[in-house]
A and B are shown apart, each in its own frame.
Chain A
Amino acid sequence: MVEEIRAAGLTRRAVLTAAVAGGAGFAGVMLASPANASDDAAELIKHLTGKTPTESDRLHLAMPRVFANGYTVPLTLVIDSPMTEADHVRDVRVLAPRNPLITVATFHFVPQRSEPRVSTRIRLAQPQDVLAVAEMNDGTLLMTRTWVEVATNGCA
């Protein structure tokens, strides 16, 4: 039952196992340190999507730097985009790589109809870099990340 449930989502273990099978390079995620955190994030996204993201200051992921309660951490996401047919954000995925299940949510926007801006509340299991990955209309991936320190495990 447990395996069945987890199979539906993407577990940290599944990603790591697949990555180790696929090549040693990705195993670095397990040894994440501040010095190479950015590279690990890019590797993780490449593994999930098959594309290499570019760090971009067009994405703004606002979260508290320190938050006591891991059960309900506020998050605001804003993307600088004209949202025209020719230049818009298709969707934005939020990832918490150190949660038991990595993908938090995916937001879908529509050119000329919705603004690429959303606020919500999420669960974090431990202090970590939360990632936002935006897929633009031309298929390119932009990413940003923000460090959040939680005191309690919101996934227990």
Chain B
Amino acid sequence: MSTPTPRVQVPRTAVKGEIIKIKALIEHKMETGLRRDSSGEVIPRKIINQFVCRYGDEVVFSVDLNEAVAANPYFEFYLRATTSGRLDFVWKEDGGRVFALKHDLLVG
């Protein structure tokens, strides 16, 4: 099974107060737990169940995902640029594995 690979698209710079667009995607099957394999066994659920975006130390956007979010979950969302700082993106998988990316945003 391939390793889930996260990707984000974030501007490098922004003007203070500007609304910036973020695109976040992780390559992931989002196995629902509703399917059976060829021998009739239920394939256990394994989904990304949470996505969190922090800006500095503050959580500014998050999603609780359920089974019906499509494979390779993708979110496009919008933040207000306040100060230069780090954006942290974290995806949590069933069973406790975590995938993360960070991005430095320069606000002038």
A interface residues (Cβ-Cβ under 8 A, vs B): 1-2, 5-6, 8-9, 71-73, 96, 99-101, 103-110, 112-115, 117-124, 154-156
Contact = CB atoms under 8 A, between A and B. Distances in A.
A27 B81 CA distance: 48
A114 B69 contact: no
Given A5-B44, A120-B73, A156-B35, A114 B66 contact: no
A72 B68 contact: no
A105 B66 contact: yes
A156 B55 CA distance: 37
A150 to B, nearest CB: 12
Interface of B: 19, 32-35, 42, 44-45, 55, 58-71, 73-80, 82
| Secondary structure dominating the interface of B | strand
Rank and list the top 6 A-B pairs by shortest CB-CB distance, nearest first: A115-B78, A121-B70, A113-B60, A119-B76, A104-B68, A5-B33
Given A1-B42, A115-B80, A117-B78, A124 B68 contact: yes
Contacts of B76: 118-120
A106 B68 contact: no
Most-contacted residue by chain B among A2, A71, A100, A121 (CB, 10 A): A121
A129 B61 CA distance: 26
B87 to A, nearest CB: 12
Nearest to B67: A101
Given A100-B34, A120-B75, A114 B68 contact: no
